[in-house]
Amino acid sequence: MQLIVGLGNPGDRYARNRHNIGFMAVEAVARAHNAAPWRKRFHGLTAEAVIGTRRALLLLPQTFMNESGVAVAEAAQFYKIPLSDIAVLHDELDLAPAKLRVKTGGGNAGHNGLRSISAHIGNDYRRVRLGIGHPGDKARVHGYVLGDFGKGEFEWVDDLCRAIADSAELLAKGEDASFQNRVHLAMEARGWKDVKGVGERSQG
């Protein structure tokens, strides 16, 4: 069993926030792979799916971001899932918009969701970093991540979530480098090689 976690804050008021791109991506995976209906478990919403040949539990913690580790720990302990089979999809300020990177372990870069998960289960789980860009001023970060994506940004957000869903079999198999590369190529093919500004495709 693989555990694929999307990070975000629960409730309609946060649904379109930059901080919720992890939720958006995992919801896209659920749709693409005909996951079972979402149900309340482990202080979160869960849906089971078969992704390729692997069983996966999709999890959206409903504890608010800074307590995400409670839900992840409960699900991992119930299914006895090792850290190597846990992938957490989250927003990443230090990555350009529409970019994706995968790494295992490392620092939490001030991300409260990652900090909570590491406190509950340890640090060596897999992180799928979804770039949202940086507002350029540390004082603006809080409002930026808790602000909605702009109208012009949703096109690349939807394309990124779709590319993640289309390539999720590689993530479920633990082939992180291939997954990352496949998503990169898909985004490049859709014109998102370099997002110059809000919703701007690269030219050429």
List the catalytic residues: 19
Q: Which two tokens stand for residue 23?
A: 């939720």
DSSP string, 83-99: GGGEEEEEEETTS-TT-
Q: Which long-range contacts (CB under 8 A, 24 or more apart) does 175-179 make?
A: 176/102, 176/104, 176/126, 177/102, 179/102
Determine the Cα–Cα distance for residues 110 and 106; give it in Å rounded to an integer: 12
Which parts of 81-140 fold into alpha helices (H)? Answer: 112-121
**Tokens at residue 127, please?**
């992180």
Strands (E), the chain: 2-6, 39-41, 44-51, 54-61, 86-92, 100-104, 126-131
- 29: tokens are 């995976």
